[in-house]
């Protein structure tokens, strides 16, 4: 099954390894972010908030400490007003609570309530179980390799993306 724009018969010369990665990434990206899996896990978590709001809840839960609105926005890669809205939604559902920062009256620190933490755990558990099942029949070596390589790729991509903002998008060394 090839749903990707770059997986077809035509391809650039001598870069097939790279070429093979991109369409898969796009495919995975679509499937995971817009797909039914997330919805399924949210159903399992048993809460009815919008997907972005749940993403904020997860971020807060796994951050392990209260975060300001600005930090949340950065972590989930959205703009501040958007983070505000999601936090408000979670607050209304009783999934997060605000605690003022004694040192700075402007900031409000957000942390999950017990209910929120439990919901986040249920969600994570569902997702982990699902992915575990998907790669269950893989050789252990492959699973380890994938984790290692994907982690490195994500880090390198993230680092390079930051440069995209600086210079007007010069590709990294070795680029076309």
Residues that bind DNA (CB under 7 A): 34, 50-52, 68-71, 77-85, 87-88, 104-109
User: Residue 95 is encoded by which pair of tokens?
Assistant: 């999934």
Partner in contact with 107, chosen from a second copy, DNA, none, beta carbon below 5 to 8 Å by kind: DNA
Partner in contact with 108, chosen from a second copy, DNA, none, beta carbon below 5 to 8 Å by kind: DNA
Cβ 107 to a second copy, closest distance in Å?
Answer: 20
The three-class DSSP label of residue 164 is helix
User: Residue 63 is encoded by which pair of tokens?
Assistant: 């951050």
Instruction: Encode 87-111: b = buried (16+ Cβ within 10 Å), e = exposed.
Output: bebbbebebbeeeeeeeeeeeebbb
Does 40 engage in binding with a second copy (CB under 8 A)?
yes
Q: Which of 119, 151, 166, 167 binds a second copy (CB under 8 A)?
A: 151
User: Residue 130 is encoded by which pair of tokens?
Assistant: 């699902």
Among the listed ranges 45-53, 59-67, 90-98, 104-112, the one in contact with a second copy (CB under 8 A) is 59-67
Terminal-residue alpha carbon distance, the chain: 29
Q: Which of 8, 81, 102, 105 binds a second copy (CB under 8 A)?
A: 8
Q: Which of 68, 75, 85, 93 binds a second copy (CB under 8 A)?
A: 75
| Phi-psi group of 65: left, alpha or beta (phi > 0 → left; psi -120 to 50 → alpha; rest → beta) | beta
């Amino acid at each position: 099954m090839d749903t990707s724009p770059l997986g077809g018969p035509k391809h650039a010369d001598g870069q097939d390894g790279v070429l093979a990665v991109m369409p898969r990434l796009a495919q995975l990206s679509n499937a995971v972010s817009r797909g039914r899996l997330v919805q399924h896990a949210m159903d399992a978590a048993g809460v009815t908030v919008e997907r972005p709001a749940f993403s904020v809840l997860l971020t807060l839960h796994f951050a392990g400490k209260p975060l300001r609105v600005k930090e949340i926005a950065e972590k989930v890669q959205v703009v501040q007003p958007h983070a505000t809205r999601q936090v408000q939604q979670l607050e209304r559902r009783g999934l997060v609570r605000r605690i003022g920062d004694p040192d700075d009256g402007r900031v409000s620190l957000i942390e999950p309530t017990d209910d929120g933490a439990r919901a986040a755990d249920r969600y994570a558990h569902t997702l982990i179980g699902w992915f575990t099942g998907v790669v269950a029949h893989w050789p252990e070596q492959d699973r380890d390799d994938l984790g290692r390589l994907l982690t490195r790729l994500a880090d390198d991509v993230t680092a390079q993306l930051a440069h995209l903002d600086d210079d007007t998008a010069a590709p990294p060394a070795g680029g076309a």
